[in-house]
Amino acid sequence: MNIQLNHVALSVEEFEWHVHFFHKVLGMSIKKSAGEKPIRKVWFNEGIQLNEVTKMIEDVGVCNHLGIETSDVRQTLERAYLNGCTEALQGEQWFCLPSGIVIELMEKND
């Protein structure tokens, strides 16, 4: 059996900020979008789905972390910090979005 990650769905309150971050800062391409405010959704070709919520429900959670491959870890980190992200405790290739979502960056092997 051959298994791979299809997508990760994230519940986010600041929908526009997150769409901007994944699209403009990380360079992900939008595959499709659906719904109207306050329950919009967007899917990126790179396997991320954003679901707009008006209030986070504590027992459901957002997600633990996202593992994202990049061809330039240092540049991606710099762009993330310039857009309001902070360092995460897990290590130098990890950072937090203002919403609390944690991202681990991995060097892309072509």
Domain hosting residue 98, numbered range:
8-107
Q: pTM of the predicted model, to two decimals?
A: 0.72
Residue 57: its pLDDT value, please?
Answer: 61
Tokens of 4: 């791979």
Question: Which pLDDT tens digits describe the chain residue by residue (110 residues)?
Answer: 244 556 888 888 899 999 999 999 999 999 999 999 989 999 999 999 998 988 766 545 577 688 888 888 999 999 999 999 999 988 999 999 998 888 888 888 76
Domain count for the chain, please give it: 1
What CATH number does the domain containing 53 carry? 3.10.180.10
Tokens of 19: 């769409």
Question: Is 1 within the bounds of a domain?
Answer: no
Nearest to 48 by CA among 1, 81, 12: 12
Question: Is 93 within the bounds of a domain?
Answer: yes
